[in-house]
Amino acid sequence: MFDATELNQKNERVEKLFRAGFGLMTVMLIIPVLIILTTLVVKGGSVVNFDFLFQSPTNGMTAGGIFPALLGTVWLVLVALLISVPLGVAAAVYLSEYAPENWFTRVINLAIINLAGVPSIVHALFGVGAFVLFFGFGTSILAASLTLAIMTLPLIIVATRESLQAVPYAFREACWNMGATRWQTIRRVVLPNAISGILTGVILEVSRTSGETAPIMFTGAAFFLPLLPQSVFDQTMALSLHLFVVSTQVPDMPEAVPYGVALVLICLVLLMNSLSIALRVYLRGRKKW
């Protein structure tokens, strides 16, 4: 009575097949990541040490460390975050909580999605035109960070809007029906419950900004600077550009250095990401409905 029929067995086989298939795909996704990481560690691990991280490059960048570039990337990412997170979150809140459902809102939404697809070199040119020249910031951290911020705004907006919309509508209604204004509702109920999704956007942005080369090349990053930047109006070195330089532009570069720079860049991104992941896990632990 409970024996497997032929159909049961067939379904079981198909089930196994798909399970194995999907598993295999996943493994194949991980393999390149593993190869990259191992290569970097094997080839570049030997040069990464305290001095490498905290010394300036010497000898035409073939020796010494990468501190100015490391610091520069941190600067660029932080300033970009400072600009794009408030702007992006505000825009997403408006779109999700206030904007009426009409063609204009839909056009804006479409524009944001398209903005995400604009190649970074185009953003770079825009940055030169707008921030370096028009606003007169010159090639500076500020101009570069603004360019990065504009480039990554769609990431923040989309992530924030999605997490706002994941907050059940019933919560908003409950608030409104008690006489809360839209802002009171957003401030006390919607945002606190969307925060972990917003942080996902921030994580994406950190990864994207710290790796980009094109948008900063013409707007604020320099090949080599003898001095550290003193303010956001100075130029800076940056890891991504430095990596490009040491890999392609400098003769007689020891082979390990580019790998070392790449390794540091990846670790920096991972570090910044794990901070926001930790924060997200912490916040998610407090949210249950």
CB 130 within 8 A of CB 66: no
- Identity of the residue, 19 or 287, whose beta carbon is nearer to another protein in the bound complex: 287
Sign of CA dihedral 259, 263, 269, 272: negative
Asked if 288 interacts with another protein (CB under 8 A), we say yes
Asked if 217 interacts with another protein (CB under 8 A), we say no
- Measured CA distances, 93 to 67, 156, 157, 163, 283 (Å): 38, 11, 9, 10, 19
- Identity of the residue, 120 or 196, whose beta carbon is nearer to another protein in the bound complex: 196
Asked if 284 interacts with another protein (CB under 8 A), we say no
Kindly give the interhelix angle for 67-93 and 239-248, rounded to the nearest 10 degrees. 130
- Identity of the residue, 181 or 249, whose beta carbon is nearer to another protein in the bound complex: 181
Q: How far is the CB of 226 from another protein (least distance, A)?
A: 54
Asked if 29 interacts with another protein (CB under 8 A), we say no
Count of residues binding another protein (CB under 8 A)?
19
- Identity of the residue, 177 or 230, whose beta carbon is nearer to another protein in the bound complex: 177
Asked if 166 interacts with another protein (CB under 8 A), we say no
Chain positions 168 to 207 lying near another protein, rule: CB under 8 A, are: 170-171, 173-181, 184, 188-189, 192-193
Asked if 285 interacts with another protein (CB under 8 A), we say no
Asked if 102 interacts with another protein (CB under 8 A), we say no
Asked if 282 interacts with another protein (CB under 8 A), we say no
Q: How far is CA 209 from the centre of its chain?
A: 6
Q: How far is the CB of 238 from another protein (least distance, A)?
A: 41
Rounded CA gap, 33 and 184, in Å? 44
33: its two tokens: 């990541």
Asked if 103 interacts with another protein (CB under 8 A), we say no
Q: Which residues bind another protein (CB under 8 A)?
A: 170-171, 173-181, 184, 188-189, 192-193, 287-289
